[in-house]
Structure 1
Amino acid sequence: MPPLPPVSLLSLATAVPPHLLHQKEAKEIAARLFGRRAGHFDRLAPVFDNAGIETRHLVMPLEWYEGDHRWKARNDVYLAAAEGLYVEAAEKALAAAGIAADEVDGLVTVSTTGIATPSLEARAAGRMGFQSDAERVPVFGLGCAGGVSGLAIAARLAAAGKTILFVTVELCSTSIRLDKLTKANIVATALFGDGAAACVVRGGEGGIGMIEGGGEMLWPDTLGIMGWDVEDPGLGVIFDRAIPPFVGKNMAEAVERIGGNIGIEREDIDRFVCHPGGAKVVTALEESLGLASGSLDHEREVLRHYGNMSAPTVLFVLDRLIREGLPDRSMLLALGPGFTASGLSLLRA
């Protein structure tokens, strides 16, 4: 993606569901439910203590997760809760930008944790009051990279002088699986939270910041590193143990490639805004990018309070940085299925 004509980030808003889960409680429940089917849970249980997470937000009360839910039941929860979070985040972002819903020209929606056909923005259109001819771009399959890639798609549409609403909603907890004891399932139970984020972007100058451009890098032969297996009774998470070392080895190259497409170099970037997929991933990012240990402080704080919400998480980090004060140039970074790195450069307005 070459440098864009001026595109303004007018607003950013976040939303989380009402049910708060403390990590100690999550560990106790997982030990009880997994432990009664397999005696070696204790060997894997330290992931709860080492995840860097204290609390997460869930769309359902805890007792729901103890039930036996098939595909339809899980997706019914996704449809109802995702639409509600979509509306909440979108309304906050539009209000912050001072824009009415019927002034929006295009709608970009990113979600990978459920199936919605019609898509979420169509389901929410009546409640929101969108134009009937607003351009709709629902995007599926980007996983954790979707927060950055989706914002880049919205920016490209906005570069034509349009006002675009970008919303990402992920309900990772609806995919938590207790039916089989695998390391990936236990890691997911220790990491996953639910949340949403929304941005309003518009062609022209002004706003919070200026989106300079973005890009992606897809590594060949890496399909098994991260993603979902489509199974019964629900999606099965793919988390390979190679993720942190792969990040440590390859992220610097990805930044160089993405920056080169935009026309900037590594030394031009004042602050990286990273998706905190887990504590080990954050540390690997610091090492690969040549950052001092502890530099990604906002990332660790978001992980601590919200867990890994997939695509929205990096925008929670950006929200903290905006409140602190944007540096001259930031680069958003997220990793997702593929295995993919997605980056986007943001200038202070």
Structure 2
Amino acid sequence: MSAALLSLATSVPPHAFLQKDVLDVAWGFFGSRFPDYERFASIFTNTGIVKRYGVKPFEWYLTQRGWPERTAAFLEGAEALFIDAATKALDAACLKASDVDTVVTICSTGIATPSLDARVARRMGFRSDVSRVPVFGLGCAGGASGLSIASRLAQARPGTNVLLVTVELCTLALRLDELTKANIIATSLFADGAAALVLRAGDGGETQIEAVGEHLWPDTLDVMGWNVDPLGFGVILRRTVPEFVTTELKPALTQILGRMELDVGNIDKFICHPGGAKVIDAIETALSLDQGTLEHERGVIADYGNMSAPTLLFILERTLAKGLPARSLLTALGPGFTASCVSLRHAA
């Protein structure tokens, strides 16, 4: 018995940053201290980003911050985004927070104990017996992996309502002290956002989660992740992700689809997490898609930047608005290094 997608909603914080303004400020902070900065500065214009959002005003990021300040900003911003996205998703499903039986929370950009779902429970109106599943560490794969987890929980208890919330405040990991290519790339890409959806198994629905799967590459811990130091998280990007995608993505997806008893030819549409413009190009190359096929991926990157886990669900929202074909495959890559996939079946 498959889980049905009842609703999907997205949310961004109030502070919008134009990419051209970020580039100008980054020159001031990194240009004189980073010998190779001029060579790396083109990264900002090659991302495909026009605008992105942050939980703090632009000026806040121009002062060195430590764990206490970053954590305070995380708790305030993540709770607000959680409530906004979750409330929209529940309203769209004609449900109240008290109707939620399970809440799955995906976040890798801040630490909260009690977890975010508990911190917002009273304001949301969750029942005292709600099942809470907070998940940390999935990174950019979290949109697909979170949907996979939530769908299996819905299947385990048909008729119950499962709320998935992905919240990422990637801008809080921006660092003024790290003179590395990885930090420059993060500064050029990272943004904040949240997405929420409601699933239920057992009573139909136009869009069904058909199958899920993952692929973990061995010896790839250095591809993507966090370093942790007294100032906060610092990004790890020690391999060229577009090159990795070009050579490794299709064989992994072929294995995943094989376990689903499908192949690439059975997929009517790919819905992919875009790390940036070059990653989108690499995905199209790897999957032999016509250039420009991933138009919603490029549109979301342009309008919102890379928000990590929620980004894939922003793209799914746009795709739903335009109309899903019979079968779509959601794909995302994240720390591990992992590919996570979800197959959707849609009834016209």
Name the TM tier (shorter chain): over 0.9
Paired letter, 1:289 = L
Query: 2:233, 2:43 → 1: CA distance?
Result: 21
Find 1:147's aligned residue among 143, 148, 153.
143
Query: 1:293, 1:240 → 2: CA distance?
Result: 27
Map of 1:179 onto structure 2? 177
Q: 1:10–1:206: 8 Å Cα contact kept in structure 2?
A: no
User: Per-residue displacement from partner, 1:165-200 (whole Å, max 9, x unpaired)?
Assistant: 000000000000111211111111110010000010
Query: What is the deviation of 1:39?
Result: 4.5
Query: 2:174, 2:286 → 1: CA distance?
Result: 30
Q: 2:51–2:302: 8 Å Cα contact kept in structure 1?
A: yes
Map of 1:225 onto structure 2? 223
Q: 1:11–1:207: 8 Å Cα contact kept in structure 2?
A: no
Query: What is the deviation of 1:307?
Result: 0.6
Map of 1:108 onto structure 2? 104
Query: What is the deviation of 1:266?
Result: 1.3
Map of 1:163 onto structure 2? 161
Q: Percent of aligned pairs with the same residue? A: 55
Paired letter, 1:54 = V
2:120 counterpart SS class:
helix
User: Does 1:307 pair with 2:305?
Assistant: yes
Query: What is the deviation of 1:231?
Result: 1.6
Find 2:53's aligned residue among 57, 79, 88.
57
- Give the TM-score, by structure 1 length: 0.97
Change (3 A) 1:84 1:248: same
Bigger Cα displacement from structure 2, 300-309 vs 236-245:
236-245
Query: What is the deviation of 1:208?
Result: 4.4
Map of 1:239 onto structure 2? 237
Find 1:43's aligned residue among 29, 39, 43.
39
- Give the TM-score, by structure 2 length: 0.97
Map of 1:316 onto structure 2? 314
Q: 1:334–1:343: 8 Å Cα contact kept in structure 2?
A: yes
Query: 1:25, 1:310 → 2: CA distance?
Result: 22
Change (3 A) 1:84 1:208: farther
Q: 2:5–2:208: 8 Å Cα contact kept in structure 1?
A: yes
Aligned residue pair count: 345
Map of 1:16 onto structure 2? 12
Query: What is the deviation of 1:239?
Result: 1.6
Map of 1:190 onto structure 2? 188
Map of 2:116 onto structure 1? 120
Q: 1:6–1:205: 8 Å Cα contact kept in structure 2?
A: no
2:235 counterpart SS class:
strand
User: Does 1:89 pair with 2:85?
Assistant: yes
Map of 1:135 onto structure 2? 131
Query: 1:38, 1:285 → 2: CA distance?
Result: 31
Query: 1:104, 1:205 → 2: CA distance?
Result: 16
Query: What is the deviation of 1:264?
Result: 1.7
Q: 2:222–2:239: 8 Å Cα contact kept in structure 1?
A: no
1:199 counterpart SS class:
strand
User: Does 1:348 pair with 2:346?
Assistant: yes
1:338 counterpart SS class:
coil
Find 2:331's aligned residue among 323, 330, 333.
333
Q: 1:247–1:285: 8 Å Cα contact kept in structure 2?
A: yes
Map of 2:213 onto structure 1? 215
Runs (5+) with no aligned partner, structure 2: none
Change (3 A) 1:255 1:40: closer
Query: 2:86, 2:233 → 1: CA distance?
Result: 27
Query: 1:261, 1:193 → 2: CA distance?
Result: 34
Query: What is the deviation of 1:99?
Result: 1.0
Query: 1:78, 1:213 → 2: CA distance?
Result: 33
1:326 counterpart SS class:
coil
Runs (5+) with no aligned partner, structure 1: none
Q: 1:12–1:319: 8 Å Cα contact kept in structure 2?
A: yes
User: Per-residue displacement from partner, 1:242-284 (whole Å, max 9, x unpaired)?
Assistant: 2111111111112112112222221111000000111111111
1:82 counterpart SS class:
helix
Query: 1:39, 1:137 → 2: CA distance?
Result: 45
Q: What RMSD over aligned residues (CA atoms) do the two structures have, in Å? A: 1.0
Bigger Cα displacement from structure 2, 151-160 vs 237-246:
237-246
Paired letter, 2:175 = R
Find 1:25's aligned residue among 9, 15, 21.
21
